[in-house]
Structure 1
């Protein structure tokens, strides 16, 4: 009795879509057929379509956009962006300022909600687990392409009841942690950052438009009140490794020249 040696259905569906992409029938940025459309066209279940797209995502040909569908991924290399941990006071959003000076248009989505600090965040903020915090989740884009994720936590004991309690709403929306804290009388230094390299999770990859396990820089950042020494904000930042280089330190400004000799 012979066995069927043909590829399983999900690989056949993946190959059909791969051929359309590689032939140029589907161009970078084009939306791919929905799972319902694949089911109608092929007669296979939605699970087959999901597995086919998982293969193409892992190959780097397709990007999954939560709530929007699957898109052909551009294979064009993007320029590397430079990230610095601090910008000059009054520059507004640090990420926007850094991208703008590099000739890139910055945009972002954010969502703020009150939450209770878990043990990990409480330790970083020097508060008790369960204490109220303002949690804000961000997706940052450079010229429309997602390049950075961030989750920020601020103790409500610091900002609660002030005009800066919502980082991205109100009269001081989007100006960055340092400038917002200055408005309530708190001066912060350059944040403390711990940077590691790892692979993107599947959820991070979907938001960043890359493949799972693609290299990312993971930054644990904490701002401290200079006078009191207490933490006033901590964040987990995920930077797409193919788009970012991190730069630390400040280049010295040369003197105008030797002073004139005195007679």
Structure 2
């Protein structure tokens, strides 16, 4: 009989539930949050627990009070999700973009691999050819992330569309798996900081003199199948952004 008992929710569970809805865009900036009584009924908790969950969301900057309306989802113009969080949202909702987000300046080409670190992660030699795909994410009119995908050339045999700059209607690895039967796994996301290259600053619309040192946050994800590394995905964040992981 104990297995039939309803799950007991704590304030952190409730906050996590709404945090995920906000991250996925189900609750967008300006949307009114549910009333305390509705939260209490839905999660079978006391008003104290519901209040504590909402205070946590407010502390995190996810919600804010609006006179005459109640608690609403806050706008977060200086926040950009991690690549892992982006992929998680795509898997859960099928949405490629966040609220008021899009991507621009898509490119795709065969290029010689000149970065020794990325070459090692992709399992290729320096100056080997790789598929290089780039795009810049824009949120609410502001450029946020310059994304670079270095893809092993062996993927071209199954997904030749990789050399087209047009964005896919779904994550290209899903197409690869459907055509090959090979499952693709992601290594833990790595995070670091370095000075941005001039072309990255140009892509992000950062107006500085060439050669000006500008530190940026960099996130790297490596994807592999049974034959080894398949893709290295590097995200370069515009200066001044908060990077948020909502996995």
Q: Which interval holds the TM-score relative to the shorter structure?
A: 0.5 to 0.7
Structure 1 residue matching 2:144: 3-state secondary structure: strand
Pick aligned residue for 2:153 from 137, 151, 156: 156
Unmatched 5+ stretches in structure 2: 1-75
Whether 1:222 and 2:217 are equivalent positions in the alignment is no
Between 1 and 2, higher relative CO (CA 8 Å, sep ≥ 6) is seen in 2
CA distance in 2, matches of 1:91, 1:186: 23
**Structure 2 residue aligned with 1:234:** 232
**Structure 2 residue aligned with 1:37:** none
Structure 1 residue matching 2:218: 3-state secondary structure: strand
Call closer, same or farther: CA 1:129–1:216 in 2, change over 3 Å: closer
CA distance in 2, matches of 1:125, 1:168: 21
CA distance in 2, matches of 1:205, 1:81: 17
Q: What is the TM-score with the length of structure 2 in the denominator?
A: 0.55
Aligned length: 163
**Structure 2 residue aligned with 1:247:** 245
Structure 2 residue matching 1:138: 3-state secondary structure: strand
Q: CA deviation at 1:111?
A: 0.7
Unmatched 5+ stretches in structure 1: 1-76, 251-263
CA distance in 1, matches of 2:91, 2:176: 11
Alignment check: 8 A CA contact 1:168 1:174 kept: no
Alignment check: 8 A CA contact 2:155 2:176 kept: no
Q: What is the TM-score with the length of structure 1 in the denominator?
A: 0.52
Q: Which has the higher helix share?
A: 2
CA distance in 1, matches of 2:139, 2:120: 33
**Structure 2 residue aligned with 1:197:** 193
CA distance in 2, matches of 1:164, 1:90: 25
- Tell me whether 200-209 or 150-159 shows the greater mean CA deviation: 200-209
Call closer, same or farther: CA 1:109–1:194 in 2, change over 3 Å: same
Alignment check: 8 A CA contact 1:134 1:156 kept: yes
Q: CA deviation at 1:154?
A: 1.0
Q: CA deviation at 1:217?
A: 1.2
**Structure 1 residue aligned with 2:106:** 110
- Tell me whether 200-209 or 134-143 shows the greater mean CA deviation: 200-209
**Structure 2 residue aligned with 1:80:** 79
Q: CA deviation at 1:187?
A: 1.6
CA distance in 1, matches of 2:119, 2:196: 24
CA distance in 1, matches of 2:164, 2:175: 8
Call closer, same or farther: CA 1:163–1:144 in 2, change over 3 Å: same
- Tell me whether 210-219 or 104-113 shows the greater mean CA deviation: 210-219
User: Which structure has the greater CA radius of gyration?
Assistant: 1
Structure 2 residue matching 1:89: 3-state secondary structure: helix
